[in-house]
């Protein structure tokens, strides 16, 4: 149980850091020299749920990078859509992709697939490497 808790925390922190980097880089692309990056406290448990990739990883660990990344991307899109739907019902969703050309219900952006592909592979490393203990 402790390892699941540690992996949940590692995934939550990793996700937060990636989101701050992503939004900060987006600020730079919009010529914001402050490169302000943001996230929400709500995102920690959502990113922490990447711990659920561990049993998926044990099934696909011998597959090639493209298959593993593709499976993780589908998992992440599904989790983003489901969590976003719940949060939207509670008027708590910190993201809204309605203005994006490739959005699905304003909850996911299909053009983010490459970013989620890389993020899934990074989370794979986070959940399979022993860092604490």
Average pLDDT, the chain: 94
pLDDT digits (tens, 9 = 90+) for 43-54: 999 999 999 999
pLDDT digits (tens, 9 = 90+) for 68-118: 999 999 999 999 999 999 999 999 999 999 999 999 999 999 999 999 999
Task: Name the strand (E) or helix (H) holding 79.
Answer: helix 65-89
pTM of the complete model: 0.89
pLDDT of 39 above 70: yes
Sorted by sequence, the CB contacts under 8 Å of residue 95 that are 6+ apart come out as 84, 107
User: Which SS3 state, helix, strand or coil, does residue 94 take?
Assistant: coil
pLDDT of 132 above 70: no
């Amino acid at each position: 149980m402790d390892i699941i808790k540690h992996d949940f925390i590692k995934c939550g922190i990793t996700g937060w850091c990636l989101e701050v980097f992503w939004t900060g880089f987006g600020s730079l692309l919009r010529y914001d020299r402050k490169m302000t990056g943001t996230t929400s406290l709500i995102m920690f448990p959502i990113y922490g749920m990447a711990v659920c990739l561990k049993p998926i990883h044990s099934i696909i660990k011998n597959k090639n990078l493209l298959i593993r990344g593709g499976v993780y991307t589908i998992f992440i899109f599904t989790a983003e859509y489901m969590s976003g739907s719940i949060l939207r019902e509670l008027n708590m969703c910190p993201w809204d992709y309605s203005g994006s050309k490739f959005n699905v219900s304003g909850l996911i952006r299909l053009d983010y697939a490459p970013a989620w592909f890389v993020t899934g592979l990074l989370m794979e490393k986070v959940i399979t490497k022993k860092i604490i203990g």
